[in-house]
Amino acid sequence: MSLQKTNPPDTVQVPPAVPPPEIDMPKSFTFSLDDINSVFGISADTLSALAHSHGVSEQELIIRAVTQLARAEIPDLDLDAPRLSPEQVAQLMQRRVKLEESRQSNGANLKDVFLDLLSEQGDADADDSRPQHGGHT
């Protein structure tokens, strides 16, 4: 799917939404969790502990979390409606278009920023006269 800009430049044409699959056909996802918590996500142990603390399964906890995200992100979300309205889909697509435009105008991506930070940390470590490992050998 490609998004094309139309004239004038501040107007963006959003493609029509692809109809969702039939309501009675559940969709499933498979994903992996790391062994440790990090800025990139939580560990499987953390997910299990959170689910247990709420008295639900890991799957139910993830569904609750995604539902909360949807409530925060989608204007006028009606959880009793089987699908998003065309206006809601258009607003979500507008966000994606703006994100892509921002990425293109900013130039550097997350990978480049991360590599720059790593190289700066390496330079700082080389200048650091403190003993390594807290002074323990």
Q: How far apart are the first and last CA of the chain?
A: 57
Domain residue extents for the chain:
28-73, 84-125
Helix axes 58-73, 44-54, angle to 10 degrees: 90
What pLDDT is recorded for position 107? 65
Whole-angstrom Cα Rg for the chain: 22
What pLDDT is recorded for position 4? 44
Identify any residues that bridge with 105 across adjacent strands, giving them in sequence order.
Answer: none
Residue written as token pair 């550097």: 108
How would you write the pLDDT of the chain (137 residues) with one tens digit per residue? 444 444 444 444 545 555 555 556 678 888 899 999 999 899 999 999 999 999 999 999 999 999 999 999 897 999 999 999 999 999 889 888 888 887 777 766 777 777 878 877 655 545 555 555 555 55
Q: Is the pTM of this model over 0.75?
A: no
